[in-house]
A and B are shown apart, each in its own frame.
Chain A
C-alpha cells in the first residue's frame, strides 16, 4: 500500500449502534498514525496519535487500535450518537502527513 486507504467510504447507522472503520497504511518506515474527526463546516480535530504496534487509545466512547506490522488501524465507536456524525480521517505520518479520504459517518436518531 503506497497511500492511506480508509473503508468504508460512508456509513449510516442508527443511534445506539456500535461501529468501526478501517485505515490501511504503508507498513514500512512507520512513524505515527493519527485519527481526526471532521465535522461539516468545521476544521479537523485530532482524536488520537498512535506510535507503537499494539497501541490502544480511548476517548469516551471512541477507541482505536494499531497494527504497524500489517499496516492497519481500527477506529471503534460504541453506542453511536447523532453528534458523532462526522468524517473520520486517518493520517499516516512519515516525514509528511498523508491523509486518507475519510469515512463519513451518519448516525440517525
Chain B
C-alpha cells in the first residue's frame, strides 16, 4: 500500500468546514483513497472512499487531485462530535481481505 502523509493536528471552529489534507504521491493506478476516523477509544469509523473522481456522501466530501497524488477530506459543517483522529489510507481493494494500515492520522479538534 502507498504511504500517506497527514498533518498531526488541526483546529476548526464549530460550524465551519473542516478540510483535512492527505499526501499520497506514490499511489498506484489500482489503489483507492479511504478515510476513517476514530473518536477517542471507540472503534474506527469508515467515512468515504474514492478512486479518482470526487465523492460525496452524508458525512463528507472527498476531493482527489487530477494526478491523484493528494486528496482532501471535507466535513462541510463541523460539530464538536467531529473531534477525532482522521486517517487517510491508500489500498487496493482487489487485494482480498487485507487489513488496513493506519498511519499517524490527523487529530482534528473542533473548537466551540
A, B: real partners: no
